[in-house]
A and B are shown apart, each in its own frame.
Chain A
């Protein structure tokens, strides 16, 4: 037997593991050691090609791997121990699964002969994560280790990407084998096809040629597929306006006249209006999520629908479509673009322009800091040239609305699962992938406290994350729902928070605070100008609501825009700020 690229010396599973990561060109691993992975950590000790970042919680490690992946397009890697180490990864894995983020999570496991015995720090993590991983593996033989790792990375990054978990029993990692890393993977049971079917493409081209009021509905799949350029070229070649989902932000420059900003529950008034009256909706790497469609039978009721998606199970799952095209967005757009001619959408674009003028995004600015104002100012200061990492809640929606996204992979958020506590560790991971532009973490006071421990990791490695806390002392989105739909009975949404500036200082991170609008720009400048990590807390208006809003499960007709100013607000002479995308 010959191994061309092999080393005949026997290696332990732990050494094979580390060598395999080097073969996969993994440069950063986010992890946390423990008893079951102590051998792996011993092997990691000698390797200079891989930087190991010790997070302060395993959830932080997985979100960091997600952030790394979202910002770079390369798979993120996390390594944790068995039992509690493994179960602490569950939220991050579920998050990555919902948002199709390619990560590979390695968990330690008790020795094979102890599995099932309720051994110390044993958890059936393969069983636990089966419904929230794209695939998972328990390695039972050291001779299969290298091939399994190769396969794990392959499965995570191809087709519809997603998290893959590899469970590593302690004794397997101590056994020895010859290391031979496979050059390629071929699985007879898994062969995602990337090219669109010619017949479907022709049908789509026909529908496009006939469309008078077409809209491109662009989702995160476009960014995952690296197809922003192809999409932009397609939209400009045809003259079709573009609305994006939360995850599609950045796929199309929001300064473009054809941009409609985000659609859905908190989408712009004009994007939802355009979709409602469209006669052709082209879904590109989007999955007709309930936060986009509202009541599905009333979503884009007049439109024929084309759906480009790599995952066949997304087709006609929520909304019946007329022309499905299963394939990789980038490949399909390359195929489709030469098949279509420029459309005469001048009237349609003019109508949309009027809607933008009538119903722009709005908020009333005053002395008290508005989250919208902080985000809008940040958008102006960075000119869209930053990786913006949001958490979950009101600020997340305002970040989608009031920041102008210009580039793919610059808007990172937890969309599908809606994981509070995502922003800080994800931004940290993103900063390991992107040193060329600022990485800005924005959280509410609630979410920030869910992974606050990662401040230590950030400080330890001087990760240059700019941290913004928009502190309203509330779980703002839940409070908004309680106000609007639950008779203003504020049940357990007001919360005490620490002095975040002092917290930052305690971790050795410079902290700033702004308490009124006049201080916002200066505080942001100081934050951005600080070398290395820095934190700014904004004490913002306690009760403000995100608009427009289409209440859950309802239709476009129920859309709520910013209400008229109350007498009190009129007395304050608030400045009405409006912006429209494109």
Chain B
């Protein structure tokens, strides 16, 4: 959802929901299928193993008003393979997203792109005569920002992972 759309409906907010699931065949399909069957907005979904290999963690970014988010959480809990659902939105949490951004370069623009990457603490992970690929990690906003900065150079290809998140234990700023 764009900022403009969010302004239109002040009830609608972005939520980051962390789901622990039995690491079983088809678990991702059950969650993704539930979102499409119920018509919920699914901004990003990531899934991977956890410290316990029988459990997967799914991180879902979605938008909706309070009633919809309440239903989403209930519907996630209703899935037989779901172990735990936490809406991180109202907690202190860490979030990271990774993007690989392949940008057109020439001898003229190469150093400027490297400077931008440095400002965002991003890495250059591939280079050719005509391109450079930047690996950026950080919050969704940070990734948005570096993409915006690199856009004028012409982004040839872009891959984003979607958000992963964990609840913070430390109270206060790190």
Contact = CB atoms under 8 A, between A and B. Distances in A.
A135 B33 CA distance: 13
Interface string B63-83: 000010011001101101111
Contact of B29 (A130, A188, A311, A316): A130
A131 B30 CA distance: 8
B25 interface: yes
A178 B136 CA distance: 53
A311 B78 CA distance: 8
Interface in B17-35: 21-22, 25-26, 29-30, 33-34
Interface residues of B, number: 20
A485 interface: no
A166 to B, nearest CB: 13
B67 A130 contact: no
Given A135-B80, A138-B25, A155-B80, A312 B33 contact: no
A138 B25 CA distance: 9
A127 B75 contact: no
**Central interface residue in A126, A190, A311, A315, by most chain B CB within 10 Å:** A190
Interface string B150-174: 0000000000000000000000000
Contacts of A190: 80
Interface residues of A, number: 19
A90 B87 CA distance: 34
Interface string A125-163: 011001100110010100000000000000100000000
B107 interface: no
Given A189-B22, A189-B81, A130 B74 contact: no
A313 interface: yes
Interface string A180-210: 0000000111100000000000000000000
Nearest to A315: B74
B37 interface: yes
B34 to A, nearest CB: 7
B37 A312 contact: no
Given A312-B74, A313-B74, A316-B67, A131 B33 contact: yes
B62 to A, nearest CB: 16
Contact of A317 (B29, B71, B77, B80): B71
A313 B78 contact: yes
Interface of B: 21-22, 25-26, 29-30, 33-34, 37, 67, 70-71, 74-75, 77-78, 80-83
Interface of A: 126-127, 130-131, 134-135, 138, 140, 155, 187-190, 311-313, 315-317
19 contacts: A127-B29, A130-B26, A130-B29, A130-B30, A131-B33, A131-B34, A131-B37, A134-B80, A155-B80, A187-B80, A189-B22, A189-B80, A189-B81, A189-B83, A311-B78, A312-B74, A313-B78, A316-B67, A316-B70
